[in-house]
Amino acid sequence: MDILQDLANEYKGEGDMRKVFACVLASVDTQQELVQFMGYARSGFFTNCMAKARDWVPSCFGIPGKMKSTEVKELVAWLLKDGHYKYGEVDVQVFATKGGANIEIFREIVNARKIAPPTVALMITFIKHALSEYAEGVYRHVEFSDTARACYCFHLSSFNQIANEAPVWANNFRTSLYYKLILTQLNKEFLLDVEADDLTEVDVKGLEADAIRDSSPLPPSSPPQSSPCS
């Protein structure tokens, strides 16, 4: 519980978050319940998402299929290099399940009406981990643990870098994902088809220019000219 107290003491802001920290610090029972909830919810959510990533990756990339182990190894190596696995259709429908910790996250998304960058980075991290389990050509289970933090931070940093350079595009992208996620809850297909990093492959200026152009109002149309034959 020390970490909660440290966070509360270090927090310099005001408003609702300050009130939350004050409530937490005022009750030892609340601190214990919060720590317990965070432990169980975090573990359950990660386990659920990782299982779905493992189910989805083979069907999406066709591995192993009828390929030999050497072919699988080559394909996975190529997919993982420079984030190629994010340049195709990354289906996030499998992560939008109902129940458990997921429903709380879904509520947060609905309230914000946007997909937060950390959510995008986390989904990509799960997918990369599932792909990496085929790195030797055959499936080898690797426990998803806190060692994935570096990968998550990398994807989050990359997405934020793009967002800083192309804010209009990033805002449109996150809003678009939100509406697609809502469609997912109605059993509609939801595809995440834009990668979050590998900036050498991303025309950031082009993304921003297109987003600004698409957001600009259309010029007023000219009145129709009368025809001499009318």
One-letter amino acid of 195: E
Report the sign of the C-alpha dihedral through residues 176, 181, 187, 193, in that order: positive
106-133 confidence digits (pLDDT tens): 555 556 667 778 887 888 888 889 999 9
34 is a domain residue? no
Beta bridge partners of 148: none
The residue segments making up the domain with residue 109 are: 41-214
Q: What is the pLDDT of residue 227?
A: 40
29 is a domain residue? no
Cβ atoms 117, 160 nearer than 8 A: yes
Number of compact structural domains in the chain: 1
102 is a domain residue? yes
10 is a domain residue? no
3 is a domain residue? no
CB-count exposure of residue 197 (10 Å: 0-12, 13-18, 19+): buried
Q: What is the pLDDT of residue 192?
A: 35
Cβ atoms 125, 158 nearer than 8 A: no
One-letter amino acid of 203: D
Q: What is the pLDDT of residue 188?
A: 40
DSSP H or E stretch at residue 90: strand 90-91
Q: What is the pLDDT of residue 112?
A: 60
57 is a domain residue? yes
Q: What is the pLDDT of residue 108?
A: 56
18 is a domain residue? no
Cβ atoms 130, 143 nearer than 8 A: no
Q: What is the pLDDT of residue 165?
A: 81
pLDDT lower than 50: segments of the chain: 87-103, 186-198, 224, 226-230
CA 29 to each of CA 32, 35, 156, 224: distance values in angstroms, whole numbers, following the listed order: 5, 10, 34, 73
CA 228 to each of CA 224, 225: distance values in angstroms, whole numbers, following the listed order: 13, 9
- Cα–Cα nearest to 95, from 85, 105, 87: 105
Q: CA 33: distance to chain centroid? A: 28
CA–CA distance, 43 with 101 (Å, rounded to integer): 9
31 is a domain residue? no
Q: What is the pLDDT of residue 32?
A: 76
Q: What is the pLDDT of residue 185?
A: 52
What predicted TM-score, i.e. pTM, was given to this entire model?
0.56
